[in-house]
Amino acid sequence: MNPVTLKQIAEELNISVATVSKALKDYPDVSKKTKALVKELARTLNYKPNTFAVNLRTRESKTIGLVIPVIVHHFFSNVIKGIVAQAEKKGYLVIILQSNESYELEKKQIDLLLNQRVDGIIISLANGTADFTHLKHVLEMGKPLVMFDKIAKIVPCSKVVIDDRKAAYLATQHLIDTRCTRIAHFRGALLPQNSIDRFLGYKKALLDNGLPYDPSLVYICECDDRSFEEGQENARQLLKDHNDVDGIFINTDLVAIGAMTEFNKQGVNVPEDIAIVGFSNWFMSSVISPTLTTINQPGVQMGKAAFKRLYREIKAIKKNKPIAPKVITLETELIKRESTK
């Protein structure tokens, strides 16, 4: 069945299409009686506004694109929750795409979103992204772009981040304060800025406390979709390489849980033999045994802040106002639990 139109409502009530349109929008120059008749008939006929036509007039699609590395991930699912909650308040649809940590797929997804004429894009970069031409193209097209979590500092757009270096310093300092002196680091992939900054925070905390930095104590975790397994593998390798490590700062909680599982199998006690600090504060971190000390990363808050910033820039572009890119830095905190002494 074809959708009901304004013309059909107008013909039924013997009034003009313009009057029907004004009545549905509560214009003051339409009588209360006419408004009531129009709205009642619209309900009876199940009239729905033609969103495409409205968007054509307003030059808005009322959709935004969200590109994230992994959807089934505690942190990113919280970010999605925050973005969608804010988008719904403003009447926006969110198109969510997963890059699977692939630069090539990320590029295709950006092109797809631009072809869909989204009003703006929010993105957390894939681990493999080292060329940012596709992101600069978004800005050249006059579309606002907001990055979060995994960002590129050289792309001139707004960003929502935490101070990864400060948070990693805090995590490592906690291990030092609990008398750990030989501290390893399970870091993320080499390219992402947040992985680099967490490594630098770890290294600085060691040096500031007079502890030597040993590159052989740094183990790389490449893939978010194998985080648990990589935690296990790195824990096994650590036990083979070094029998004197008494603390580990780990890039994400899921890697940390994998490491703790392996240590348990090998008869290594946490925190008596090795203390562990994770990063992100997943739900699982508070229910495993022992519970995991970690850095709380505010995913929902980050999602809300990212959409609010994007929405402000969408409105600015519509009014032909200049946009000054802004970096929004959210606070983190150390959650002390049983995996540290």
Predicted TM-score (pTM) of this structure:
0.83
Residue 55 is assigned to a structural domain of this protein = no
The domain tally of the chain equals 3
Q: Identify whether residues 70 and 156 lie together within a single domain.
A: yes
Residue 287: Cβ-neighbour burial (10 angstroms; 0-12, 13-18, 19+)? exposed
pLDDT for 134-170, tens place per residue? 999 999 999 999 999 999 999 999 999 999 999 999 9
Q: Output the pLDDT for position 4.
A: 81
pLDDT for 170-211, tens place per residue? 999 999 999 999 999 999 999 899 999 999 999 999 999 999
Residue 264 is assigned to a structural domain of this protein = yes
Q: Identify whether residues 222 and 101 lie together within a single domain.
A: no
Domain residues for the domain of 24 are: 6-49
Q: Identify whether residues 156 and 171 lie together within a single domain.
A: no
Least confident of 42-56, 91-105, 160-174: 42-56
Please, which pLDDT band fits residue 42 given cuts at 50, 70 and 90? confident
CB neighbour burial string for 304-333, b if at least 16 within 10 angstroms, e if fewer: bbbbbbbbebbeebeeeeeeebeebeeebe
pLDDT for 56-69, tens place per residue? 555 678 999 999 99
Q: Identify whether residues 68 and 37 lie together within a single domain.
A: no
CATH code, domain carrying 89? 3.40.50.2300
Least confident of 56-65, 269-278, 324-333: 56-65
Residue 56 is assigned to a structural domain of this protein = no
Q: Identify whether residues 191 and 132 lie together within a single domain.
A: no
pLDDT higher than 70, residue 336: yes
Q: Identify whether residues 246 and 210 lie together within a single domain.
A: yes
Q: Identify whether residues 79 and 138 lie together within a single domain.
A: yes
Cα gap 72→226, rounded to integer Å: 12
Q: Output the pLDDT for position 330.
A: 98
